[in-house]
Structure 1
Amino acid sequence: MVRKIFSILMGILLCFSIASCGIAKKDITRAEEQKMQNEALQKPLEKPKEKISNTVNNAVYTNTENLDNTLYSWGLRVLPNHQTPEITPLAMELIKKYDAVFVGDTTKKVVYLTFDEGYENGYTPKILDILKENNVKAAFFVTGPYVKEQADLVKRMVEEGHIVGNHTVNHPSLPTLSDEKVKEEITKLGDMFEELTGKKMKYFRPPKGEYSERTLYLTKSLGYRTVFWSLAMADWQPLPGGPEESYNTVMKRLHPGAVILLHAVSKDNALALDRIIKSIKAEGYEFKTLDDIP
């Protein structure tokens, strides 16, 4: 208990939350939006997430009742001079215990490029073109509607050698669901993908970056490796600085072993991607895939 309290206190000091997706309020100015984004990306969390009961809709978990279901939002502390970002001791403990990933090989100048695909915004074909032109393989984490509505793009990802990962059917916060619902969200999407491509998924990214020890256990029990990230920005919405902000953020936070998360719905990312890739290579980095992470 003392160790857990210490870990949470450390989280207050070290973490800031970068959620996997979000919606900007429409009644704020661009200057206010930029200020909010900067604060979200640079300031530590003010308090830890609340502990969630193991009872959902009056159904008590049976298989994982002894596992902690405290909801955490994936967060990290950005460090200067291209150092590996810091995460809390508790987050690191769970990463190791459940064989999850947030960085790759931090001893070498390698990076791992990943995209989240909640829905198609018209930019993925261009992103795939740029990846092909630069001979870079990436991972795309897709949802149920994406597999159903963008079957041709999903098949193109596979055909061009990219990894397609599981982002659940409906993009819910998994710690708020029962064991059965968590399994359904993950396995149903895996089945949809296998029916479409004949291949199995093996990597998973938690929707909204929200997780608990219970959901990490369930994910691993289903044969998936959970993939978080070490470099991201609030790019699910238009960036105040446009493509230049996308480029500058990636290059400023670049570090050995970086697992880069970009949202493919972002026009800014699509416009900056070719320059990002070429500049990363010019810095002496090599692009690897999630399969290369031990």
Structure 2
Amino acid sequence: MVRKLFFILIGIFLCFSIVSCGIAKKGITKAERNEALQKPLEKPKEKVSNTVNKTVYTNTENLDNTLYGWGVRVLPNHQTPEITPKAMELIKKYDAIFVGDTTKKVVYLTFDEGYEAGYTPKILDILKENNVKAAFFVTGPYVKEHADLVERMVEEGHIVGNHTVNHPSLPTLSDEKVKEEITKLGDMFKELTGKKMKYFRPPKGEYSERTLYLTKSLGYRTVFWSLAMADWQPLPGGPEESYNTVIKRLHPGAVILLHAVSKDNVIALDRIIKSVKAEGYEFKTLDDIPSKM
């Protein structure tokens, strides 16, 4: 009887040890807890359904859908901003962009066009006067309501990128919905201009590994940024703040994000471009950033 009890106790001890080890392997390290640069904003509580045609992309159920908000750590003395190791891993894995050639004094100017506030014609005028080509990331309503401006962007040699139809947070959508948001806008643009979109910027800067995979599988290259500010709303310092922020944070290979709805940006834009050139920088386009795949 004693021998039997001994073996029972040994068995209970072994089971407890196995369960404890399994839990420990899933623990979060102190370094991970302290990683504040780009921590997940949200992890969907329910599994996102995958009903899309498997001939387009497969195995998305095995991809992490943790929602991240894009962000960089600004460094002094015109150094390349830092991103987290996880963000860098995903950038490389899915051939996304957040900087260009950091070995040369080149910059890439991009604008987000969620809606039209009346400033884009002036932006296009300034770009033309300074012989600068940029990229404009547009939404569905923008293409529908401002087709003339989209056509002008194309005619004047600018890149028009995909910012989805409705500007949703993609990690919260199913595969089918992600595909719909991206392909419908691409179709609208092609019907209007006869051209195909190549670049994609995630709405709100929110993404996951799953959405990066889906975007790439649809033929797009995801474009983040290395220099930006909270310019979708009036800046406390007005146009001077817009100008000073860009010049202070300027660095080789910078992908600059400006929101076209900002009056402050429009007022500062000509001065920004001239000062960037005076610093010895050359404006390039996203097409000049080679794919590493």
The TM-score with structure 1 as length reference comes to 0.81
Aligned equivalents of 2:4, 2:269: Cα separation in 1: 40
1:17 CA displacement: 40
Q: Provide the secondary structure at the position in 1 that maps to 2:104.
A: coil
SS at match of 2:88: helix
Residues 128-156 of structure 1, C-alpha deviation per residue, up to 9 Å, x if partnerless? 00000000000000000000000000000
Segments of structure 2 that go 5 or more residues without pairing to the other structure are none
Alpha-carbon shift at residue 113 of structure 1 (Å): 0.1
1:286 is displaced (CA, Å) by 0.1
Aligned partner of residue 115 in structure 1, secondary structure: strand
Give the Cα separation in 2 of the matches to 1:3 and 1:132: 91
Tell whether the 8 Å contact from 1:56 to 1:176 is kept in structure 2 after alignment.
no
Structure-2 residue corresponding to 1:250: 246
Residues 41 and 86 from structure 1, CA distance in 2 versus in 1: closer, same or farther, beyond 3 angstroms? closer
Q: Is the 8 A contact 1:141 1:164 kept in 2?
A: yes
Pick closer, same or farther for the CA change 1:30–1:62 going to 2, 3 Å: closer
How far, CA to CA, are the matches of 2:43 and 2:51 in structure 1?
A: 23
Q: Distance in 2 between matches of 1:71 and 1:3?
A: 54
Cα separation, partners in 2 of 1:287 and 1:194, compared to 1, 3 Å: same
Q: Is the 8 A contact 1:104 1:111 kept in 2?
A: yes
Call closer, same or farther: CA 1:29–1:73 in 2, change over 3 Å. Answer: closer
Q: Is the alpha carbon distance of 1:205 and 1:44 closer, same or farther for their aligned partners in structure 2, counting shifts above 3 Å?
A: closer
When residues 293 and 51 of structure 1 are mapped into structure 2, their CA distance, relative to the original with a 3 A threshold, is farther
* Contact 1:61/1:178 (<8 A) preserved: no
Alignment of 1:115-130 (within 5 A): 115-130=111-126
Task: Pick closer, same or farther for the CA change 1:5–1:290 going to 2, 3 Å.
Answer: farther
Q: Structure 1: which 5+ runs fail to align?
A: 32-36
Distance 1:197 1:58, change over 3 A: closer
1:230 and 1:4 map into 2 onto residues whose CA distance is 67
SS at match of 1:169: coil
What are the residue-to-residue correspondences of 1:260-275 with 2, within 5 Å? 260-275=256-271
Cα offset, 1:15, TM superposition: 41
Report if aligned partners of 1:174, 1:211 keep a CA contact under 8 Å in 2.
Answer: yes
SS of 2:182's partner is: helix
- Number of aligned residue pairs: 289
Matches within 5 A, 1:195-274: 195-274=191-270
Q: Which protein has the larger Cα radius of gyration, Structure 1 or Structure 2?
A: 2
What is the CA–CA distance in structure 1 between the aligned matches of 2:108 and 2:63, rounded to whole Å? Answer: 31
Contact 2:52–2:175 (CA<8 Å) still a contact in 1? Answer: no
Alignment partner, residue 7 of structure 1: 7
Contact 1:111/1:288 (8 A) holds in 2 = yes
- Are residues 106 and 28 of structure 1, via their aligned partners in 2, closer, same or farther at CA, if it must alter by over 3 Å? closer
SS of alignment partner, residue 291 of structure 1 = helix
Deviation at 1:126, TM superposition (A): 0.2
The whole-number CA distance in structure 2 between the counterparts of 1:18 and 1:235 is: 53
Q: Deviations over 1:67-120 (max 9, x none)?
A: 000000001100000000000001000000000000000000000000000000
Following superposition, the deviation at residue 12 of structure 1 comes to 39
Contact 1:102–1:228 under 8 Å retained in 2: yes
Distance 1:278 1:58, change over 3 A: closer
- Give distance in 1, aligned partners of 2:3 and 2:271: 45
Query: Contact 2:107–2:252 (CA<8 Å) still a contact in 1?
Result: yes
Q: Is the Cα–Cα contact under 8 Å of residues 52 and 70 in structure 1 kept in the other structure? A: no
Amino-acid identity (%)? 92
Seen in structure 2, the aligned counterparts of structure 1 residues 38 and 65 have a Cα distance that, compared at 3 Å, is closer
Pick closer, same or farther for the CA change 1:17–1:268 going to 2, 3 Å: farther
Distance 2:179 2:195 in 1: 19
1:163-220 alpha-carbon deviations (Å, 9 max, x no partner) = 0000000000000000000000000000000000000000000000000000000000
After TM superposition, the score normalised by the length of structure 2 is 0.81
Deviations 1:27-80 (A, max 9, x none): 99999xxxxx99999999999999989899999997410000000000110000
Q: Is the 8 A contact 1:82 1:253 kept in 2?
A: yes
CA contact (8 A) 1:15 1:44 kept: no
Change (3 A) 1:218 1:45: closer
Runs of 4+ in 1 over 6 A off after TM superposition: 1-31, 37-62
The CA distance in 2 between the partners of 1:116 and 1:267, in whole Å, is 14
CA contact (8 A) 1:22 1:236 kept: no
